[in-house]
Chain A
Amino acid sequence: MTDSLWVRLRDVFRPSARAEASDEIAFHIEMRARELVEQGHDPREARAMAEERFGPVLPIEADLIDSTQRRRQREDRAEVLMNLRQDLSFAVRSLRKNSAFAATAIATLALGVGATVAVFTVVNGVLLRPLPYKDPSRIAMIWISNTNPQGVTSDLPLTSGFFTDIQRESSQFEAIAAFRFSPYSLSVAGSVDKQRVAGARVSPALFQVLGVRPITGQTFTKEHAVVGGPNVAVISHDLWQRQFGGDAAIVGKRVDLSGQPFTILGVMPAGFTFPRGAELPPAFQFALRTDVWTPLVFDSTDLRNYGTMNLSAMGRLSATTSPVAAQSELSAIMKRFLAENAPRLKLGYHVVSLVDQAGKKVKRGLLILFGAVVCVLLIASANVASLLVARVSNRQRELAVRAALGAGRGRIARQLVTENLVLAGTGTALGVVISYWATKVMLALVPGAMPRADDIGLDWRVLSFAALVALLGGVVFGVAASASVSWSRLAGSLHAGDLRSTGTLSQRYGRRFLVAAEVALSLMLLIGAALLTRTFVELQRVRPGFNAKNVLTAGVGLPIAGRFDPFADGPAWAAKMNGIAAQLSTSPGVVAAGAVSSLPLSGAFESGGTRIVGRPTPAPGQAPSAQYNVVAGNYFAAAGINVLAGRAFDTGDDEPGRRGIIVNQEFARVHFGSVADAVGRDVVATFEFRNNAAPRTIVGVVENVKQTALDDPAAPQVYVPQSQMAYPGLTFVIRTKGDPMTAVPALREAARAADPGATLNDVRLMDDVVALSLARQRFSMTLIGTFAALALVLAIVGLYGVLALIVGQRRREIGVRMALGARPSDVVRMIVGEGARVAALGVIIGVGGAFAMMRVLGALLYGVSATDTLTFAGASVVVATIALAATYAPARRAARVDPKAALVAE
């Protein structure tokens, strides 16, 4: 590419094919005419005769032009190839000869490129790579948006009633589908081994919406999704391989899902695992990947259900419509519904593209990370560029020899560019290898919290990005290197004395500015990293409202097939869960045991409406909502949630007819002004699975618990015992005296005693649950911290390098100074001062840059101001101190210069 440019440039200076052809013809005619004149012809006559003898000029000229152009093209191509081969082999030889230089430059580049490509791999995998569905831009998620009294709008799942409404009334979608999480315990016919698998109940249209077909068999039809329809399932490619060994005759086989026989209808293609938990709001508790799909069936009760929000919905926009049109149509449908049925509710539909749904929440963090890593790459590149410039001044002699032997300026420049392309190419190739591992390490920091993370890898986008980096690097370095060759001196610099030049003014200041910029960038990163670290520390210092130490948590599933009927099954469930808790509390080592519907900080939460008895009915849209939890056993003691007033639930609350409720401090403060005033008041919980539920009496007030994230503001929360409000699945919370893991056998035993079909899942320490909830913060903090450290090291190396070079180039000057009476300490002061000026400039630019940067970083911070003076000052002092320390070694070397030797050497 530089070569074709080169050829085009040369064409400007060489005569055109047309000029050459007409010159050649004119010469012939002129010579002939001259000869005819010599033979005695009149000059004018002679010219006419000459032209006649030559024949038709124009066609011949055209012929010559054509052939000249053809020939030139071929020659140019051949020359380019030959030069390229020469340049390449020369570049490799030249780099090998200077292996220390080459190794330093390549290693620096490989580190910078490796980090950058690793982050780009994640950015590409999460944000750029198209979703693996047909025409993904036309797929939209549909949520119900609810505006709470504080004016905050949040997305909620649909109810079966709302879903069937939009399915019937909307015209903007080719297909609409609903789905919800449905864990199964799977056993293959004839085996007693049970395995928990992530399943989803889905409308038959789901596969049409996503545009994905099974690789064998079929997916559901409408006939499968009716009450009393056949038990059929579609399985993932992974499950097919894992569980059935890729059995070719899988279609039609029987499998046992949670105690019921299902017929396998089809197998989806590899990689299809929708819905995938990390891409959907965590509250819906989808597993990371889905392995089994069964039909979602609505009965007549479901069609009237506008209360239980448990469905996610998505649609494929029809070809003629836009997301905006779909949004406004759905809004109109909701408005009509509310006008007829519930004018006080502030609900709407919210259409969000699947692409945004998957990537939006991590986009900012990832882009900040990418910005940070590009800073590292810039610093690495600046170091390499500065090394190259230094190398060129040492190579001035070699270049002079080559110029003397006839290499043109263009040829030498091209050689420098080629050499740097080889350098950048090797560094990048190594960087790509490093990035492969770096990506894995990065993703291991965010297990399950990064959307689309499970199939991130190198693809053509990543490789093109790396190639672009290499190319850009090579050209920029090459241009920098050839710009620093002082061409005018090439002719003369065979004389040895000229070799010790101190560089041109622009070279000297350019290099210093480069290093100042490096210091500035690394200071910005360091400030960013420090703020994120303080955020992380602040978050961990937050009192979550419970005590995670020595606590084991595990989901306990009881076998239920088909529909869950809260009124029929509820009491039996409660009895079993309470039985497990009771048995556990008697086992040695267990302090307290209980269970909860949404484990704090696990991502799960549920909200519902509440009404205070004796207060006027709230104004439209002002119905107070609260996060609610259903609990069993001795949950508050097990989780370490303090009771501030009244009491916790006890076995008395399990008696039939009792109706109690426990609220948190925030609920008490908002509604009653104080904790003490809340106890004994009556509250209606409108989230109960029944209409016109009777009021509940507040029996106790507990402290606020961080339910969804440690940086959540306090929210009103209420608790109801499972014996009074049936709830399908609970997570056990067991407080132990010693290592919580020792309680696992006791839990398993207690669960099996309660029901032989019970399964355990997600057995974790509460400490790990808390740590996992901070995974994304830890991800940002660790990576930006690593990048900041890397940047600082590179910047210091850069600073050291420039000072060492300055000392080397100014040996003579230093010698003169010392001969004139300067003491070593003066020399040290001079060199350190040189370094200090560069570092100070860098720190000033860096602080300014950091202020600008905080506008984007601010959103990721918690408990620390984005312009925190202490952080800014501390980071600046650290960078300045390290920079000054780096000046010391070159300064001491300068002080040891022997004036006699330095002067004689010239």
Chain B
Amino acid sequence: MPRPSNLDLLQGTLDLLVLKTLSWGPAHGYSVARWIQELTNDVLQIGEGSLYPALHRLEERGWVESEWRRSENNRKAKFYRLTNTGRAQLRAESQTWTRFTDAIGKVLQASEQPA
């Protein structure tokens, strides 16, 4: 299956995406990966393996916490859940991201060279 042209993820962006997906509720690593792929129509090709160091990094920072539970098909899986500090972090980073993309957008849409 030919893949559409894709973008490499910027450093730190993955963390933001993971926090966002977890804001809908606890999930194991595989669902996080699936959700990101679905929502971005596979445009953002994350190396699936690199998701896990990111999850652990977030856990070490106290933004997510984990627990081993039965998954939907009755297999033990490690579920991650956003903590309160994680939620606050998500809010802050979303704002930063929005400001950042706004700025980039303005530059790309500019029609004239500034004086």
Contact = CB atoms under 8 A, between A and B. Distances in A.
Interface in A54-78: 54-57, 60, 63-64, 67-68, 70-71
Interface stretch (B16-24, B42-50, B83-91): B42-50
B30 interface: yes
Interface string A39-60: 0000000000000011111001
Interface stretch (A23-31, A249-257, A433-441, A584-592): A23-31
B56 to A, nearest CB: 4
A63 B47 CA distance: 15
Contact of B48 (A24, A53, A67, A71): A53
B53 interface: yes
- State which size class the interface on B falls in: 20 to 34
B30 A71 contact: no
A10 to B, nearest CB: 16
A31 B49 contact: no
A32 B78 contact: no
A32 B33 CA distance: 10
A24 B53 contact: no
Contacts of A63: 52-53, 56
B99 interface: no
B84 to A, nearest CB: 17
Contact of B56 (A27, A28, A53, A64): A64
A67 B50 contact: no
Contacts, number: 57
B48 A55 contact: yes
Contacts of A67: 53, 56-57, 59-60
B53 A27 contact: no
A17 to B, nearest CB: 10
B26 interface: no
Quick one: which of A25, A30, A53 has the most chain B CB within 10 A?
A: A53
Contact of B78 (A20, A56, A60, A70): A20
A46 B46 CA distance: 19
B53 A55 contact: no
A63 B50 CA distance: 10
A27 B75 contact: yes
Contacts of B53: 60, 63-64, 67
Contacts of A60: 49-50, 52-53
B77 A27 contact: yes
A805 B79 CA distance: 54
B28 A27 contact: yes
Nearest to A67: B56
B55 to A, nearest CB: 9
Contacts of A23: 76, 78
Contacts of B78: 20, 23-24, 27
B57 to A, nearest CB: 7
Contacts of B48: 28, 32, 53-55
Contacts of A28: 29-30, 33, 48, 52
Nearest to A30: B75
B36 to A, nearest CB: 13
B52 A24 contact: yes
A64 B59 CA distance: 11
A56 B68 CA distance: 24
Given A24-B78, A27-B77, A56 B60 contact: no
Contact of A56 (B28, B33, B49, B71): B49
A724 B75 CA distance: 114
Nearest to A65: B56
Contacts of B76: 23, 27
Contacts of B52: 24-25, 28, 60, 63-64
Contacts of A54: 47-49
Given A28-B30, A32-B30, A67-B53, A55 B47 contact: yes
Nearest to B37: A53
A757 B71 CA distance: 107
A410 B56 CA distance: 30
The 5 nearest A-B residue pairs measured at CB? A55-B49, A67-B56, A31-B30, A55-B47, A54-B49
Given A55-B50, A57-B49, A67-B53, 16 more contacts: A20-B78, A25-B49, A27-B29, A27-B76, A31-B30, A32-B30, A32-B48, A54-B47, A54-B48, A55-B49, A63-B53, A64-B52, A67-B56, A67-B57, A70-B60, A71-B60
23 contacts: A23-B76, A23-B78, A24-B29, A24-B77, A27-B28, A27-B71, A28-B33, A30-B75, A31-B30, A32-B30, A32-B48, A53-B48, A54-B48, A55-B47, A56-B49, A60-B49, A60-B53, A63-B52, A64-B53, A64-B56, A67-B57, A68-B56, A71-B59
